[in-house]
Amino acid sequence: MPGSKPHVLLVATEVSPLAKVGGLADVVGALAKEFQRLGKVKVSVALPRYHEVDKCLMSEHITPRRREEFAVAIGTQSLMGAIEHVVYHDIDVYLVDQPHYFKRNGIYFDETYKIDYADNLERMAFFTRFVFEALKVLDLKVDVIHAHDWQCGLFPFYLKSLYKMDGFFKNTKSVFTIHNLSYQGIFSVEQYGILGVDWKYFTINGLEFYGHINLLKAGINFSDMITVVSETYAKEIQLPEFGNGLEGIIREKAAAGQIVGIMNGVDYEEWNPETDEYLPVHYTAKSLDQKKAFKMTYLKDKGISQPDPGRPLLGMVSRLVDQKGLDILLEIVPQLMEQGVYLTVLGQGKEEYEVRLRDLARHYAPALILSITFDVAESHRIIAASDMLLVPSRFEPAGLTQLYAMAYGTLPVVRKTGGLADSVKHGVTGFVFEPYTPEALLGMVSQAIATYKQNPTQWEKMMKNAMKEDFSWKQSAHKYLEIYKHLLQE
Ligand code: ADP
Ligand code: GLC
């Protein structure tokens, strides 16, 4: 329709605040809001309806619109599901309701046994096919399907395979965003039948990867444009060290101009120390005493009856996985504690890291505070209360917590990689180290501790510098809009 706005459908398995495991949720949620604010496209969102989503559906901001039930074929069976159209803060959200697949205690894996669900391929194939069919049932023409991460890699693939001949999707383009190349969605070829497509797609230029099905590769090979979440990461993934076996095709796509790095931003409605709903006090760069007072309150709440304001509070909010630098951090915890610091860690993940952290917390209690759980309110409190935030990642496609930390005047100590390298300025807004070794990490955290203890004027200046940085979504959202525009003109 000439004159009407292009319709962009964001598809993802996490969308904040409806369902979240990590940064993917923050990004898709914030991007939808920013597109809505900019008003240049019509934006809609589709995600599975998990238990977690149900809680949000009680919110006053949700208006239910329509529910349609129908079946789609998955492998040899036909399965019923429902598409639910709700409006959340003026954004159209389409929930795929299929309790057998999505009403489980975890999103990707069983939280009790910490193993991926065995039927993840089937779950994602169902979600994807169901969304395509739902668009037809609802007669909803979308111009761009913007799919995120391996879980949604089948969207570009089905668009170019199953739905190629379907007139309804004749003009639909796809964009695929890689948030993390180390998660690829690799499945046994024995499950190929579930996909319901010809074997001709099981090739090196399709979704075959060393004899397996690879959904991230499907997204890369079949989308019209690929984006990754920072400029440095876009370069890093062309190297074997970061490419996880896909560096070859990434290099090819980059050479063809089909990969762009677009840095993530911050949703300052969610992450703002002046208004943060999770904090009992609020502050700005002009009222940093409030931040200091909150640190004392936080430490007292954690059982430290007379906290010493001269001791820095080091925070960490992270999935506890290899990517996040836990191995080098765990080695140096004793040396850090000896320097007279408080350390608070919030996270969950790999059993080995949880066990080692629990041991350390027992040993250094109460100065080492540990919360092995997922708790959004606590993540905000840690980022506000801490003096510095540790992000020693082995690799980091973008990273959000260092951006949140800066907004709260909490100086990030980061490794020079991916989006961490692109966002933190050493000595200005935080501390940056490079070699991935316990020594280099210890050296940099010690430097930060020394600055905090011996040079409060410098510290406060850096806090103010960090709080002045602007990582709002506007600029990055415009870059995505340019991509959509370009694709739609082709
Ligand atoms: P990643 O997506 O790799 O986990 P990011 O830094 O991009 O890393 O985003 C992580 C997001 O998840 C941030 O919003 C962070 O606050 C949040 N987060 C991580 N672990 C927890 C936790 N245990 N509880 C609450 N929020 C968490
Ligand atoms: C991924 C990355 C993280 C990034 C997030 C959102 O999970 O690990 O660096 O910030 O996605 O894009």
Are 403 and 465 contained in the same domain? yes
Are 236 and 342 contained in the same domain? no
Between the CA of 270 and the centroid of ligand 1 the distance, in Å, is: 14
Between the CA of 392 and the centroid of ligand 2 the distance, in Å, is: 14
Tell me the percentage of the chain whose pLDDT exceeds 70. Answer: 99
Residues of the domain holding 64: 7-265+474-489
Which pLDDT score is estimated for 3? Answer: 60
Position 273, amino acid: P
Between the CA of 101 and the centroid of ligand 1 the distance, in Å, is: 24
Are 459 and 365 contained in the same domain? yes
pLDDT per position as a tens digit, 82-123: 999 999 989 999 999 999 999 998 899 887 777 899 999 999
Are 463 and 321 contained in the same domain? yes
| Ligand 1 pocket: which of 267, 276, 317 to mutate (most atoms within 8 A of CB) | 317
Question: pLDDT-based confidence at 175, cuts 50/70/90?
Answer: very high
Asked if residue 24 has its Cβ within 6 Å of ligand 2, the reply is: yes
Among residues 83, 81, 79, 82, the alpha carbon closest in space to that of 94 is found at 83
> What are the phi and psi torsion angles at 487 (to 5°)?
-65, -35
Ligand lying closest to the C-alpha of residue 401: 1
Asked if residue 319 has its Cβ within 6 Å of ligand 1, the reply is: yes
Are 371 and 228 contained in the same domain? no
SS3 content of the chain, % helix, strand, coil (to 5): 40, 25, 35
Domain membership flag for residue 60: yes
Domain membership flag for residue 279: no
| Ligand 1 pocket: which of 319, 322, 372, 374 to mutate (most atoms within 8 A of CB) | 319
Question: pLDDT-based confidence at 61, cuts 50/70/90?
Answer: confident
Domain membership flag for residue 272: no
DSSP 46-90: EEE--HHHHHHHTSTTEEEEEEEEEEEEETTEEEEEEEEEEEETT
For residue 169 the two structure tokens come to 């999707």
Asked if residue 28 has its Cβ within 6 Å of ligand 2, the reply is: no
Q: Is the pLDDT of residue 224 over 70?
A: yes
pLDDT per position as a tens digit, 330-344: 999 999 999 999 999
Alpha helices for 244-350 (secondary structure H): 247-255, 288-301, 326-338
Total domains, the chain: 2
Ligand lying closest to the C-alpha of residue 31: 2
What is the domain-level CATH number for residue 304?
3.40.50.2000
Between the CA of 424 and the centroid of ligand 2 the distance, in Å, is: 16
pLDDT averaged over every residue in the chain = 96
Domain membership flag for residue 2: no
Which pLDDT score is estimated for 1? Answer: 47
Given the CA of residue 397, which atom of ligand 2 is nearest to it? Answer: 9
Secondary structure class of 216 (helix, strand, coil): helix
Among residues 221, 225, 235, 229, the alpha carbon closest in space to that of 154 is found at 221
Q: At what angle do helices 376-385 and 288-301 cross, to 10 degrees?
A: 120
First to last CA, the chain: 16
Between the CA of 26 and the centroid of ligand 1 the distance, in Å, is: 9
Q: Is the pLDDT of residue 57 over 90?
A: no
